[in-house]
Structure 1
Amino acid sequence: MRRAQRNTAFYKVLLALFLATFLLAGPVPAKVITYSGNGTAGTIQTLIENSSNGDSIFLAGGTYEGNIVIDRSLVFGALDSTNPPRIITSGPGAGLTLSADGITINGVAILGNASTGLQILSDDNRISGSTITGHGTGVVFTSASHNVLSGNIIEGNSVGIDLDRSSGSNLFYFNAFNNTLDAVSQSIDNVWFSAGQEYQYQGKNFTGPLGNHWQGAGTADSNGDGVGDASFTLVPGGQDHPGAVAITDSAPLVGPLSAYTITKSAPFADDLTNLRQQGGSGTPVSLQSGGVQPVITSGGAAQSQFSGGLPSGLSPQGQQPPNNPVIGFLITFWWLIPVAIVVSAACGIWYERSRRRRRDLIPEHGPAPAAWNTTVVQKSAEQTSPALPVNEYAIRLPAALEKKYPGAEYIAEGGVSRVFHVRDEKNNRDAAVKVPIRFDEVTGTQFTKELTIWEGLHHKNIVELYAANIFPLPFIEMEYVPLSLAEMQFPLDETKAAGILLGIAEGLRYAHEQGIVHRDIKPGNILLSQDGTPKITDWGLSKAQGTKQSGIIGFSLEYAAPEQLAPTLYGEPGPWTDIYQLGVLFYEMLTGHVPFSGDGMGEVTHAILHNAPVPVVTKGRNTEAINAIIAKCLQKRPLDRYASVGDLITDLRHLDLAG
């Protein structure tokens, strides 16, 4: 008895230690903060001091006075790219100082009369789409490395950029300079162009390096790709800049930034390697001599705005690794060690106790069939194959449903439920059966809410619900559709993509007429019948209008509408949310990727709330009309989108899709 009590006490202490370690070490959900300068939220500096690493702060258009210091890893930028926030600086210091690693700045204007507009004291930061003007020095780098400046306008300063001797491995491309002295550097280990870019210039697509636009460079462009035929070298001299080195841009831009649209960026590490192999920024580098030819496609025109995209190589994978990556990893993630020890101990104790209990309960010749009610069972001899030996396991229907649906075949599962392919012998048809993964109160409540919403929908573009019940346990029997849109190879031609979208829109128009909004339109929730008819499934996130009853509160981030991310700014989700997600889906089917993406939640959220999508280029004759449809669907404000799905259907039917 005493031993049992000691064991129980030990397990309680171990569990408490595990929970405490998890709570202390586990990640904290990032916040998205919008700020207009009004109300009781305090100053911008107050917001920064009350935020945590990974949070995002978006400023509404307007004027904000005062110098700012960002001392944690944040996404900081404009809420509306057409009306950027203007930070008015003053005094002998810097208007905006970055003193933490991993900060993203996008779409702000740094104005005023401070000695320095932007001071960078840290590493791995990204500054894009911003304007810095009116200062003694626009941007100052002090012992700062692996930073990227792209898509910025740096003009009207005495010195545009100033890098000290300890600032290296920084990348500058696709910026516009017009200052008394555009740049001065005491370090040769920086890159002033980016190789392997995919971009549009004057309506044509090209692949090659892109540098910066230097006022008065006057470089010729014989092949019309928007890049000068010769390198541009800036050689500062005089007593004001002792120790300064020559700066060479091997791919200077001949036009303003508005003439270009970057569609895909090359990794930063590739640019840095090319630079080092050819002698640093003081030696001219020509990446065009390597046989890279322009890639020109028909259709589409250049978009006269910077999309806000950042080089894919800026992620940690694209940077130079530390001398000893193992030690660096252990220093950064030290808290994983106690977590691993506690989890391993807990799992070992659980396994030993489970094995002892199983040994005590199971008879020598195995359990009686009625003793088990589980979704994991041993495969029978008839099910074995070289790929699945007899001792492997397969997911099966719960025992309470196996008699009703013998021979069920597991298909897939999500966060709440599993789906099985079954044969309904009574009605002589194939069907799909959906059951909860867990049989607890919360899961059961969400599952029955989905059942209630779905059972009233009957349309050729919505998966048909055949039967549903909560006895002997909650389950849904529905139409079996073998193919998911997520299994198709994107991009699709415009005729096929428009046809699929039209069918989905018809199903949503019907649902909206019944007062039901889906709120999670994405490829995984669209099935395709054998004749190609698209059918909407998974109504777990849907909501009946006029009621508080809805499915699970959540969404797929890359398909989320602005109102799902910032409801205080854009209002609650509604039919307009489905319209936005139709635009995302149409874009993805035509390009092979979603319009807004990033390295983490903060960057994706920033892109959805801030950026405009890069235009779609198709091989058909509807490029302009398709881009207009997508742009209207993807408007940030719900009121600027289509008034109804019916209006979207009208525009889709006006496309010229004849063979």
Structure 2
Amino acid sequence: MDRNFADPARERLLLDRYRLAERIGIGACAAVFRAEDLRLKRNVAVKIFSPGPTSWESELAILCRLQHPFLVGILDSGSWDDEFEGTRPFLVMEFIDGCDLRTLLARHPGGFTPAKTARLGWALAQGLDAVHSDGVVHRDVKPANILMGGSGLPKLCDFGVSRLHDGAEATIPGVTIGTASYLSPEQALGEPVHASADIYSLGLVLLECLTGAKVFPGSALEASIARLLHDPSIPEWIDTDWRQLLTAMTARGAAQRPTAAECGEALFELQLRQPAHAA
């Protein structure tokens, strides 16, 4: 993978407009670069997919229909014809000058204040409500896919494994898609996945933000099995209202979980109950 996205890609000009700079992320089938938009004189993020079959068309279709302040927006798309590797499609997205939530949590091993967690959760619930209202399931809500900009508010990114509710590829029976530590029980079982799976994952993210510890650590197999055997452990010191919300969000029965809109309302109320200096 590193060979496909090595340093020689730097300074390459895409669409006679986007000059690639340093690589800022890499995954199984794509790499993300910071780039300069020479026309509008601003930084953008360019996600370049590896040659061969990828999910880029699905991701493009989903991003084009999703516009929300708490979702990373798409700006352009195209293809890069490499004489050695073949055609590589790419997406141009807004650049978030900050870090992801995973990195931020590593800097705060004790977790965040309830006020900060409620504000972050409210924003993410708002973004997921827009996603779900447009018939999309993200399927990989986790700290690494939550970008934190200068405003302190998050933007959900990486819709590479997302699917439309009514899409023919919404679920492949018996196949698990997502990140083990944040999977819903139905994802761990390879069962049909709906919007409620994102709510479960968001509940795990918020619990991690409050405690500073991953709820289901260990190997992919250990983490997947753990959520099938027991519910997340919510420490007694967490406020009752928080406990009730997190318990509902991480219910093993998908139908028992609140919607993203309901989570947003509850998290907004939790913000209001916090002292002004507690952020």
**TM-score category by the smaller chain?**
0.7 to 0.9
The Cα shift of 1:576 comes to 0.3
* Correspondent of 2:93 among 478, 488, 494: 478
- Separation in 1, partners of 2:143, 2:75: 23
| 2:183 matches 1:557 | no
Contact 1:422 1:430 in 2 (8 A): yes
- Separation in 2, partners of 1:651, 1:499: 11
| 2:246 matches 1:637 | no
Query: 1:427 matched to which residue of 2?
Result: 40
1:344-493 to 2 correspondence within 5 Å?
Answer: 375-376=5-6, 394=7, 396-397=9-10, 399=12, 401=14, 404-406=17-19, 408-436=21-49, 438-440=50-52, 442-443=53-54, 446-470=55-79, 472=81, 473-482=88-97, 483-488=99-104, 489-490=107-108, 491-493=111-113
* Correspondent of 1:540 among 136, 148, 160: 160
- Separation in 2, partners of 1:646, 1:397: 42
1:615-654 to 2 correspondence within 5 Å?
Answer: 615-616=234-235, 623-642=239-258, 644-654=259-269
The Cα shift of 1:590 comes to 0.8
| Structure 2 counterpart SS, 1:615 | coil
Larger radius of gyration: 1
Query: 1:504 matched to which residue of 2?
Result: 124
The Cα shift of 1:551 comes to 9.6
Query: 1:494 matched to which residue of 2?
Result: 114
- Separation in 2, partners of 1:410, 1:395: 11
Whichever structure has more helix as a proportion of its residues is 2
CA gap of 1:632–1:434, structure 2 versus 1, over 3 A, is same
| 2:216 matches 1:605 | no
| Structure 2 counterpart SS, 1:451 | helix
Contact 1:375 1:398 in 2 (8 A): no
CA gap of 1:636–1:432, structure 2 versus 1, over 3 A, is same
TM-score scaled to structure 2, two decimals? 0.85
- Separation in 2, partners of 1:520, 1:509: 15
CA gap of 1:435–1:601, structure 2 versus 1, over 3 A, is closer
CA gap of 1:556–1:407, structure 2 versus 1, over 3 A, is closer
Amino acid at match of 1:439: P
Query: 1:30 matched to which residue of 2?
Result: none
The Cα shift of 1:616 comes to 3.1
- Separation in 2, partners of 1:550, 1:435: 24
Query: 1:594 matched to which residue of 2?
Result: 214
Contact 1:447 1:474 in 2 (8 A): yes
Amino acid at match of 2:275: A
Contact 2:10 2:21 in 1 (8 A): yes
Give CA-to-partner distance per residue, 1:461-486, whole Å, 9 cap, x none. 00010001236441101000022111
Structure 1 outlier segments of 4+, above 6 Å:
none
The Cα shift of 1:617 comes to 5.1
Give CA-to-partner distance per residue, 1:508-562, whole Å, 9 cap, x none. 1011111111010000100112111210100011111112145996210010000
| Structure 2 counterpart SS, 1:462 | coil
* Correspondent of 2:148 among 523, 528, 533: 528
- Separation in 2, partners of 1:395, 1:534: 32
The Cα shift of 1:612 comes to 2.6
Query: 2:84 matched to which residue of 1?
Result: none
Report % sequence identity. 27
Contact 1:558 1:597 in 2 (8 A): yes
Contact 1:374 1:398 in 2 (8 A): no
TM-score scaled to structure 1, two decimals? 0.37
Amino acid at match of 2:26: E
Contact 1:449 1:550 in 2 (8 A): no
CA gap of 1:402–1:616, structure 2 versus 1, over 3 A, is farther
- Separation in 2, partners of 1:653, 1:605: 31
Contact 2:184 2:201 in 1 (8 A): yes
The Cα shift of 1:395 comes to 5.6
Q: CA RMSD in A?
A: 2.4
The Cα shift of 1:375 comes to 4.0
Contact 1:450 1:551 in 2 (8 A): no
1:225-374 to 2 correspondence within 5 Å?
Answer: none
Contact 2:139 2:178 in 1 (8 A): yes
Residue ranges of structure 2 left out of the alignment (5+ in a row): 82-87
